[in-house]
Structure 1
Amino acid sequence: MGVHDNQPLAFVDADGQAKGFLIDILEYIGAKEGWRLDYIPGSLTECLERLRRGEIDLAVGIEYSRERNEVYDFTYEDIFSDWGVVYTQEDSDINQIVNLDNKKIAVVHGDIHYHNLRNLAERLKLKCRFVEAYEYDAVLELIALKKVDAGVVNRLHGLAFETNYSISRSPIIFSHTEVYFAVPKKQHRKLIRAIDKHLAPLKSDKSSVYHQALDKWTPTNVKWQLPKWFVGILAAAGVLLLLFLVTGLILRAQVKAKTSELSFINQELLTEIAERKRVEDVLRLTQFSVDNTGDAAFWMGPDAKFIYVNDTACYSLGYAREELLSMTVHDIDPEFPATAWPEHWQEVRRRGSFIVESQHRTREGRAFPVEITVNYLEFEGQEYNCAFARDITERKEAEKEKERMQVQLRQAQKMEAVGTLAGGIAHDFNNLLQAVQGYAQLLLLRKDGDDDGQRELQQIVRAATRGAELTQQLLTFSRKIESELQPIDFNREVENVRLLLERTIPKMIEVEFRLAEDLKMVNADPGQIEQILMNLAVNAKDAMPDGGKLIVETANVILDQDYCKIHLVANPGSYVQLTVTDTGHGIDKMTIEHIFEPFYTTKETGKGTGLGLATVYGIVKSHNGHIVCYSEPDEGTTFKIYLPTIDSTQEARKAEEHLTAPEGGSETILLVDDEEPIRGLGTQILEEFGYTVLTAADGESALQLYSKKQKKIDLVILDLIMPGMGGKLCLLELLKINLEAKVAIASGYSPDGPTREILKNGAKGFISKPYDLRQMLKVIREVLDQN
């Protein structure tokens, strides 16, 4: 609690104890609320500065002003009403405000009465010379020592201590103010509400601690000194009274009537004052409500310049109120050019009130979506637009997430429909081929080796056989052929294919196998697993006509709820992951959407049936598995296949152990990814485990953010493929800024594929995409714990 010397309202005595009218009230409320109160003494200026910086929680006895309301929050209930009083040297002729012209006046630095007197003097064009002190007692002492002509203190302090000095109280009273408790802006609102809760009942109860403290600390015997000019008037009035005594007796009745009239007028004035006080309270409540509403409020005129903005507008955009009041709509709305304003204002006039969506841009240049409620108003012949802007970032992100899920659902439904159609066609087509093949074979049986037409019949049989093979692939895609599932050692099946691949794949393509030693068992058809590997390997070979590298990996993984929220067709659980990566020409996003469809191919006519990946898709689905493809043009391709492990008591126990919460931390991580859903998921995962997360949508903004906050950033998670600069170049620039920077690369490629080079260039770790929560947190912890 900040306390400045403002006796008898609040002060700290010689023993360091806080005392005064306001202290008694605060101690009472603190006891009721269970607070421990520590008092920090200082001058008014020091107290206000500490409050602004948040070094103290509450300041005691602060007069309200609109300027201070920009920086602090005040209790709704005022505690005390006061005025500024001018004191002068004894026998001074200063008895009205204009007498202060060319006078030296002592004031308290930062005092509200000083502020108001200075404004009043400027309006009246008085040339006052102000001498600043830091306490009211110092002001009174300067007057008594005749170092100044006059001084300003608050009424209560003057009444309490004026008899201690050789000074006179002038009849000049001005600057009505109300005293409150104050807290830093938008902080400690609970303190404000708690004080207001107690203060109103205390003021209304005449026997409460409020009135007891008021009687205890406010002066009761005050020496009222009449100015000389008033003594002269009284003397003249006495002479006149003697001269007109008889006239006075005659006019007594008229005086009595006039007194009654004045009493009535005085009562009306009291009523008017009470009504003005009520209106002021309502206006303050309205101002408080508008300033603290959750939506940003902007008032503007026909010229698009801001007339008023509330606290939320300043906070959301990062500007001070004075800065915003010198700006226009076009300065904060990147989608609203100045040339469009005249047409917009006509629409505002015509429609009166409506809702639009746009964007606002912060001081740092970050744009965020807003929903703006426009309201056209006319007041005293002037036109205004009162607009309320609501940040709808979360709503937009939810809509994007919903659309992404709907796209996945439509894709799954499309593949299901295509499978049903393909299965039906294949079944009928297979029957036709059987007839063609059967009759051709019968004719061959009746032919001798040299008969005419035998070669042609053999070609018909071969074509029918090839057609039958294609129909079998279609049936596999549509899952019309039952898989012969059995428990298998997946690594053994991969090893069985190794020799075949080494004979099939050209020597200019390096083939590498990285198989997990403790791979779990799966329930699968060995022949179909071999078909998956061969189809993917053949596709990889065709993508690397000039050579390259093919990597086959196996691993145990757990797909958790977060992964399955992004991949709707996957189910949580324990899986064996088969990863096939090539360094070929890659696939664009448009093509990826169709690669699993039957008969879809990008190869030249005669070089592919378009059923290879469709068959792989069908086999994976028939095994209750999941397949994803990650690729970019000229960056290679990675297929990841997930097959569920065999469910046994031992396997379930291992999975349960794996699902235990991994280790988190408290460091700050910069997450760089151009996909908003990926940034959102990564932020949610990392914050859930205690990390502080900063995000950037591209390499350029990541470098700017790292340059400003590199001392706070402990780790950078950097997406490899991004528009613009890209992950590889961004890593090199980060290491130029800080050679010791800890950077982990995030990619859907294998760490032994296209990412190997960037890992050699200074990255400290590799995080697989899509994010596997445990693998991600394990790598983060390992990189952060490196010396």
Structure 2
Amino acid sequence: MGDMKNDEASFVTTLNHAAADPFRLLVEAVKDYGIFMVDPAGNVSSWNTGAEKIKGYKAEEIIGQHISCFYTPEDVAAGKPQRGLQIALAKGSFEEEGLRLKKGGAPFWAIVTITHIHDSFGAHIGFANVTRDISERKQAEAMLRLRDQAIESFMQGVIITDPTLPDNPVVYVNDSFIRLTGYAREEVIGKNCRFLQGPETAPEAVDRVRSAIGAGQSCLLELLNYRKDGTSFWNTLSISPLYDTAGRLTHFVGVQTDTSPFKLLEQQLQQAQKMEAVGQLASGVAHDFNNLLTIISGYSELLLGMLPSHDPNRDVVKAISEAGERGAGLTRQLLSFGRKAVLEMKILDLNEVVREAEQLLRRMLGEDVLLTAVLDPNISQVKVDPSQLGQVLINLAVNARDAMPRGGILTIETANVELDEVYAAQHADCTPGRYVMLTVSDNGCGMSLKVQSHIFEPFFTTKEPGKGTGLGLATVYGIVKQSGGSINLYTEPDHGTTFKMYFPAVDEQSHPLPHHQRATQVAGGAETVLVVEDEDAVRAVAVRALQDQGYTVLDAESGKQALRRVEQHQSRIDLLVTDVVMPEMSGRELAETLCLQSPGLKVLYLSGYTDDAVIRHGILQAAVAFLQKPYTP
């Protein structure tokens, strides 16, 4: 008991000395740190202004209270207050960062240092506790972590450089930059960004970046960069300077947005617009061209019929006729490319078209090329024109044969495929859904990027002059597009070429569609034919050919004139041969009027226009007889 009294007396004496010490006055004046004494039992024995500011207690409220009131209930239950004192007693001091409680229970982050205090004789007399509120620092750290997480979660590549160092090296890249470029962090940190440039990076774009960096300014541009594996990608680059509080330039931040998918769509759109423009041009001249060819071919045939078999002029006329046929074929190709050809759509199995074309393709390819067909027996039906699809196979086979001058393998495949939204997003001419894929592949010489960019354009050819019209693949493109499908090319130099065509699958069962009625030769010459055509020369060919066959022919240059001729003739008209598109009254309107007057009147429609005009006039129907110009007698 006496020893305890002596200890208390010693502790009081020490505190009294401290109270008289000028150092105590300094401690009391400190406001940014909470400094207070704790007795050996853990009770608060002194309290400075800083402690009051940080924790909210006045001295008279807290002196005598145990320090556990500053801890969370969870920490108290875990014995943290007592353990801190024990460690300080054993080791001389204890420091901890953690949550503490203010008056009223509000938590705050603090760094707490507990120091063992002893008297001049070395006897333990208590602890000195120094508390610093670090809530703002913690909030700043949390905000920095949030920013780091946000930057790392960017889909865009982020790159930071330091212009205060020589060559403006990279000091930071995020994960998206690594995924986008294929480089590891250690491969780019400390290097200048020029490693992203390549042979096709525009010098003008590089100059803009350098000028902006040199002037410490922002910059936004699109440029072509290169990955570690050598492949290129388009990206929109935004560069922004960072300045410190003194206004000094410290860093540049670059944000890369991969625009390759959008660039691809943009290129596809530009290509489609270019193809559409040429297609419109082709279809625009088709009517006049077809009329001219009708005249050339028609009169050639008439002349051949008039000349004896031994006449030397027959060869000249035959040459004219053959030129007309070639012109007609060229027109058909142009219309196919421009998606304006008149198609006879039919629901069918693509495998049937391939099988029917196989024998012809084998003869055309020759013995040096092995033709292999890999056909899915369970493919869905499609709606296409079988003859036009056969033309697609022929044109692609010719292209493959020319790409394999020393022989090779041509493979034709069919399969059901499901194109998803991801694929559709990368191909502007495609929508998600069920398709039947037709693939034609060869192992020939392949194509360069430059050739690929022009491959479907009309009149583009890599063949020698006189060995190709440049319309083969353009025709393929047009037929596939007009059939509601899409076509994609996959090729590399020396690694062959693959064309993949996708046709929408249909649920209807395949069945043959009725063909258009064709005019048949009528025996004898007692029938009367009314020919209505607004082009005089074309009309003259038709009239002459029919008259040579013994028919009675009436002709008119317009629908209204035709009605007057019928009224004047006052006899039965057996057949109406009429152009579809004419001024004042269309061929369809004329036919309807005459059929009301003469039920059972047969009608044959003629047109040099494309399918748009023919469809608009309601001609492409199963029961309607239609003859496309150019034609021959």
TM-score using structure 1 length: 0.43
Match of 1:702 in 2: none
Match of 2:424 in 1: 564
Which one of 535, 546, 565 corresponds to residue 406 of structure 2? 546
Contact 1:330 1:336 in 2 (8 A): no
Q: CA deviation at 1:498?
A: 1.5
Q: Kindly report the root-mean-square deviation, in angstroms, between the aligned alpha carbons of the 2 structures.
A: 5.3
Q: CA deviation at 1:463?
A: 0.7
Which one of 139, 153, 156 corresponds to residue 93 of structure 2? 153
Asked whether 1:404 is paired with 2:264, we answer yes
Secondary structure of 2:493's counterpart equals coil
Match of 1:374 in 2: 241
Q: CA deviation at 1:478?
A: 1.8
Provide the C-alpha distance between the structure 2 equivalents of 1:136 and 1:360, rounded to a whole number of angstroms.
Answer: 60
**Aligned partner of 1:506: which letter?**
G
Match of 1:389 in 2: 253
Which one of 59, 64, 72 corresponds to residue 25 of structure 1? 72
Q: CA deviation at 1:502?
A: 2.5
Which one of 585, 592, 601 corresponds to residue 445 of structure 2? 585
Q: CA deviation at 1:569?
A: 0.4
Q: CA deviation digits over 1:252-284, x for unaligned, max 9?
A: xxxxxxxxxxxxxxxxxxxxx99xx79x87677
- C-alpha distance 617-442 of structure 1, shift in aligned 2 (>3 A): same
Q: CA deviation digits over 1:705-737, x for unaligned, max 9?
A: xxxxxxxxxxxxxxxxxxxxxxxxxxxxxxxxx
Contact 2:163 2:252 in 1 (8 A): no
Secondary structure of 1:331's counterpart equals coil
- C-alpha distance 389-530 of structure 1, shift in aligned 2 (>3 A): same
Match of 2:474 in 1: 614
Q: CA deviation digits over 1:658-716, x for unaligned, max 9?
A: xxxxxxxxxxxxxxxxxxxxxxxxxxxxxxxxxxxxxxxxxxxxxxxxxxxxxxxxxxx
Q: CA deviation at 1:648?
A: 4.8
Q: CA deviation at 1:471?
A: 0.7
Contact 1:332 1:360 in 2 (8 A): no
Which one of 293, 296, 308 corresponds to residue 147 of structure 2? 293
Provide the C-alpha distance between the structure 2 equivalents of 1:290 and 1:138, rounded to a whole number of angstroms.
Answer: 37
Q: CA deviation at 1:288?
A: 6.3
Match of 2:97 in 1: 180
Gaps of 5+ in 2: 1-39, 43-65, 123-129, 152-157, 179-185, 197-207, 227-231, 511-633
Provide the C-alpha distance between the structure 2 equivalents of 1:535 and 1:433, rounded to a whole number of angstroms.
Answer: 24
**Aligned partner of 2:250: which letter?**
C
Asked whether 1:335 is paired with 2:194, we answer yes
Provide the C-alpha distance between the structure 1 equivalents of 2:381 and 2:102, rounded to a whole number of angstroms.
Answer: 78
Provide the C-alpha distance between the structure 1 equivalents of 2:238 and 2:68, rounded to a whole number of angstroms.
Answer: 48
**Aligned partner of 2:97: which letter?**
Y
Asked whether 1:203 is paired with 2:102, we answer yes
Q: CA deviation digits over 1:54-84, x for unaligned, max 9?
A: xxxxxx98xxxxxxxxxxxxxxxxx99x99x
Contact 1:299 1:385 in 2 (8 A): no
Alignment of 1:185-196 (within 5 A): none
Asked whether 1:594 is paired with 2:454, we answer yes
Alignment of 1:659-738 (within 5 A): none
Q: CA deviation at 1:453?
A: 3.7
Provide the C-alpha distance between the structure 1 equivalents of 2:446 and 2:224, rounded to a whole number of angstroms.
Answer: 36
Q: CA deviation at 1:435?
A: 2.0
**Aligned partner of 1:386: which letter?**
T
Provide the C-alpha distance between the structure 2 equivalents of 1:375 and 1:623, rounded to a whole number of angstroms.
Answer: 56
Alignment of 1:313-328 (within 5 A): none
Q: CA deviation at 1:302?
A: 5.2
Asked whether 1:635 is paired with 2:502, we answer no
Contact 1:355 1:372 in 2 (8 A): yes
Asked whether 1:478 is paired with 2:332, we answer no
Alignment of 1:164-563 (within 5 A): 179-181=96-98, 202-205=101-104, 225=119, 289=143, 293-294=147-148, 331-335=190-194, 354=218, 371-377=238-244, 384-387=248-251, 389=253, 392-393=255-256, 395=257, 397=258, 399-451=259-311, 453-563=313-423
Asked whether 1:644 is paired with 2:508, we answer no
Q: CA deviation digits over 1:203-229, x for unaligned, max 9?
A: 0327x899xxx9xxx99xx9974679x
Contact 1:8 1:20 in 2 (8 A): no
- C-alpha distance 461-336 of structure 1, shift in aligned 2 (>3 A): closer
| Structure with the larger RCO, 1 or 2 (CA within 8 Å, 6+ apart) | 2
- C-alpha distance 376-428 of structure 1, shift in aligned 2 (>3 A): same
Contact 2:279 2:338 in 1 (8 A): yes
- C-alpha distance 332-299 of structure 1, shift in aligned 2 (>3 A): closer
Provide the C-alpha distance between the structure 1 equivalents of 2:363 and 2:211, rounded to a whole number of angstroms.
Answer: 74
Q: CA deviation at 1:541?
A: 1.6
Secondary structure of 2:194's counterpart equals coil
Alignment of 1:742-757 (within 5 A): none
- C-alpha distance 286-28 of structure 1, shift in aligned 2 (>3 A): closer
Provide the C-alpha distance between the structure 2 equivalents of 1:610 and 1:627, rounded to a whole number of angstroms.
Answer: 18
Q: CA deviation at 1:455?
A: 2.2
Provide the C-alpha distance between the structure 1 equivalents of 2:167 and 2:142, rounded to a whole number of angstroms.
Answer: 23
Provide the C-alpha distance between the structure 2 equivalents of 1:209 and 1:284, rounded to a whole number of angstroms.
Answer: 13
**Aligned partner of 1:373: which letter?**
S
**Aligned partner of 1:205: which letter?**
G
Secondary structure of 1:180's counterpart equals strand
Provide the C-alpha distance between the structure 2 equivalents of 1:511 and 1:505, rounded to a whole number of angstroms.
Answer: 8
TM-score using structure 2 length: 0.52
Provide the C-alpha distance between the structure 2 equivalents of 1:603 and 1:647, rounded to a whole number of angstroms.
Answer: 42
Provide the C-alpha distance between the structure 2 equivalents of 1:468 and 1:586, rounded to a whole number of angstroms.
Answer: 31
Contact 2:87 2:93 in 1 (8 A): no
Secondary structure of 2:371's counterpart equals strand
Provide the C-alpha distance between the structure 1 equivalents of 2:403 and 2:161, rounded to a whole number of angstroms.
Answer: 61
Return 507-516 or 437-446, whichever deviates more: 437-446
Provide the C-alpha distance between the structure 2 equivalents of 1:531 and 1:360, rounded to a whole number of angstroms.
Answer: 41
Provide the C-alpha distance between the structure 1 equivalents of 2:331 and 2:451, rounded to a whole number of angstroms.
Answer: 24
Provide the C-alpha distance between the structure 2 equivalents of 1:560 and 1:603, rounded to a whole number of angstroms.
Answer: 37
**Aligned partner of 2:314: which letter?**
Q
Gaps of 5+ in 1: 1-6, 10-18, 31-38, 40-59, 62-78, 84-133, 140-151, 155-176, 182-194, 229-272, 319-326, 338-343, 362-366, 651-787
Provide the C-alpha distance between the structure 2 equivalents of 1:388 and 1:567, rounded to a whole number of angstroms.
Answer: 36
Provide the C-alpha distance between the structure 2 equivalents of 1:516 and 1:387, rounded to a whole number of angstroms.
Answer: 60
Task: Report the identity percentage.
Answer: 35
Secondary structure of 2:440's counterpart equals strand
Structure exhibiting the larger radius of gyration computed from Cα positions: 2
- C-alpha distance 403-554 of structure 1, shift in aligned 2 (>3 A): same
- C-alpha distance 282-360 of structure 1, shift in aligned 2 (>3 A): farther
Q: CA deviation at 1:625?
A: 1.0
Alignment of 1:50-61 (within 5 A): none
- C-alpha distance 136-509 of structure 1, shift in aligned 2 (>3 A): same
Match of 1:149 in 2: none
- C-alpha distance 552-385 of structure 1, shift in aligned 2 (>3 A): same
Q: CA deviation at 1:351?
A: 5.8
Provide the C-alpha distance between the structure 2 equivalents of 1:649 and 1:608, rounded to a whole number of angstroms.
Answer: 39
Match of 2:590 in 1: none
Count of paired positions? 405
Provide the C-alpha distance between the structure 2 equivalents of 1:360 and 1:634, rounded to a whole number of angstroms.
Answer: 26
Provide the C-alpha distance between the structure 2 equivalents of 1:494 and 1:416, rounded to a whole number of angstroms.
Answer: 29
Secondary structure of 1:587's counterpart equals coil
